[in-house]
Amino acid sequence: MKKSDLFIGFLIGILAAIVSAFLFLLSFTKLQYIKFVIHEPGIMGKVITLGAIINILIFFYLLKKDKELMARGIVLATIILALATVLFK
């Protein structure tokens, strides 16, 4: 087991949340609404939370593949995203 697996899992968790939040915004809103989400208080936290849902699927996939340190990185990223949600609330 390498300690870099934890960092890789953390990066995967953060990037997956960002990409899935962006895809959510593109799928269900108009392009002009993205500027509104960034500048309006209270909405960004909800978007971060929706983006973090994909981390659950990645976590269980990594556990199934016996990549436990990467799965821990996903959990760490989810905790950081939860703190960011509280801060952007």
Q: Alpha-carbon distance 39 to 58, whole Å?
A: 30
Domain extents for the chain?
A: 4-87
**Identity at 17, one-letter amino acid code:** A
**Would you say the C-alpha torsion 22, 16, 87, 89 has a positive or negative sign?**
positive
Question: What is the Cα 60 distance to its own chain's centre?
Answer: 15
Count CB neighbours of 78 within 10 A.
20
Q: What is the pLDDT confidence band of residue 39, given thresholds at 50, 70 and 90?
A: confident
Mean pLDDT to the nearest integer, 26-49: 75
What pLDDT score was predicted for residue 89? 66
Q: What is the pLDDT confidence band of residue 59, given thresholds at 50, 70 and 90?
A: very high
What pLDDT score was predicted for residue 85? 81
Q: Is 3 helix (H, G, I), strand (E, B) or coil?
A: coil
Tell me the per-residue pLDDT of 41-53, one tens digit each, with 9 for 90 and over.
Answer: 777 778 888 888 8
